[in-house]
Each structure stands twice: as structure tokens, then as C-alpha cells.
Amino acid sequence: MGVDHYENFPVASMLCPPALRPAVAAIYGFARTADDIADEGDALPAQRLHMLAAYRAELDALLEGRAGSSNWSQVFQPLARAQQRHALPGSLLHDLLDAFEQDVRNPPYPDRAALLEYCRRSANPVGRLLLHLYGIDGEQDRARSDAICTALQLINFWQDLGRDQQRGRNYLPHADLARHGVSLPGLTPLHDQPALRTCVRELCAWAVELMHEGAPLAARVPGRAGLELRLVVQGGLRIVEKIAELGHDTLRNRPTLRKADAPLLMWRALRMNARGMA
């Protein structure tokens, strides 16, 4: 699903069952707008947090069946229809807002565990909401969905290293940087160096491991939606390949998926077996 964080996710694509496309689009609109509040424009952090609090109040009103304000009606009217039809778990929508608030506060991430905790609220709710729409509710399925979504979030971090530096954000775990002898980002921003590239390479390998853990979920999702999930998995893995092709220098270069990648991704998606491997 393609909030700017997760732009390697397709959103309400042609492979999504038509009956579910309005709900998927509504979830996307909800997350996209909150992400814009957290990231876009020139507002100060206190102003962003105030707006996110007002946005959360609109969500509370929707979930409690109360009339909200006219603010963000283009978001909450479609979301209300999706909620009425599909009974979306409100806690997952609140988790997304928690993550956007965390982005505004821009905390350090001392280790991988802290980063995983962030992904639990920033990425994993997206997958769980989609599982809910597809009527898939097994514990193992949720765990695999979490692994895929976390992997995609991590890949997006390593893909966007330079862009995040420009925003004054750093998602590289400090423990990993210290282990490679890379100075923690502070007053002096990160700069390209062999040690940093080695660190990024190891973090990419971590994301790939998580992706492989979750990939068997694609065999559990029926029909065209299952093919879409296979393409999501292969898209994330393809970005990692492109990061490697750049020598893991994503401070100065940002790899992206292009139309020319589509045949390869489709071929790999169709070759995935029940274990999720191509």
C-alpha cells in the first residue's frame, strides 16, 4: 500500500478485487493525509501534532458513530463507508496515527528493536487491515503479514537514506552504526563512506530475511489479490537489488521501480512457490 513511506506498495491496483477497492482506497487516503500532515509543508512540530490530534478526534468520532466536523471530509466519508461495510479494527488506524506522531517527534532509534517497534505501528497495521478485508485471520498469517510489511518499511528506509537526511531524520539503528564505527548523526550529517555502505548492506540483508519469512503468505491470499501480494514482495526485493547495484550508496542515489522492471517482477511473482520463493 502506497503511502509515501510505503511507495513500493501498490494501492487499489487492478489486481485488487473490485468490491474491496473502495475500502483499500479509503485506508490509503486516511494514511496518506495523515502522512502529509506529519511531513509536508512548513508547519512547526507543535502545529503538526495539534493537527494530528484533531485528525485523531475525527477518527474517534467516526469509530464511535458520532458526527465529526467537516474537516477532512474527503478522507473520513469514504473511511466511514468502509467502516460500515467492513468493520475495520479501529486500533490499527490509531496505530498509524501513533507512528505519524512519532515521526513528528523524530526520536533516535538506538537499536533494531526500537525500529521494529516503530514498524509495528507504521507499517504492520496496513497489512493487517488488508488481511481483515480478505477475511484472513490466522495467527501465522498475521505474523507473516507483519514480516512483509516491516521488510517493506525497512527497505524504504534504506532506499530513502538521502531524502530522510534532508528532513533531519535518521532511521539507522545507532547500535549498527556504532558497530561499524560510523559516527552517530547529530550536528554533522552522515556522509558516504565504506563503513556506512557496509552497514546499509547488512540492514538490507536483515530486511530480505524478514521478507522471506513473510512471503509464504502470498499462497494464502486468494486470486488476483494473492498475485498482487507476490508482486509487492518481489518489488521490495527488487529495490534491495537496486540498492546493491548502487554499492549501497543511497545517501546520494535513490533507486526506484520503473516500468521496465514490470516483466521481471511478474515473472518472479508467477514463479513463487508455496514457501514464497521464486
| Domain-located, residue 222 | yes
Q: How far apart are CA 38 and CA 32, in angstroms?
A: 10
Of the listed ranges 5-14, 25-34, 235-244, the least confidently predicted one is 5-14
| Cell digits of residue 108 | 533516535
CATH number of the domain to which 220 belongs: 1.10.600.10
Please report which helix (H) or strand (E) contains residue 184, including its range: none
For 18-38, the pLDDT digits (tens) are 888 999 999 999 999 999 999
Residue 278 confidence (pLDDT) above 90? no
Residue 51 confidence (pLDDT) above 60? yes
For 174-221, the pLDDT digits (tens) are 999 999 999 887 756 788 999 999 999 999 999 999 999 999 999 888
What is the tally of structural domains in the chain? 1
| Domain-located, residue 225 | yes
Residue 273 binned pLDDT confidence (cut-offs 50, 70, 90): confident
| Domain-located, residue 213 | yes
| Domain-located, residue 278 | no
| Domain-located, residue 132 | yes
- Calculate the average pLDDT of the chain: 90
Determine the structural domain holding residue 218 and report its residue range. Answer: 4-271
Closest CA to 157 of 240, 226, 219: 240
| Domain-located, residue 266 | yes
| Domain-located, residue 276 | no
> Taking the model in full, what pTM does it have?
0.91
Q: How far apart are CA 223 and CA 225, in angstroms?
A: 5
Residue type, position 82, single letter: A
Give residue 10's pLDDT. Answer: 52
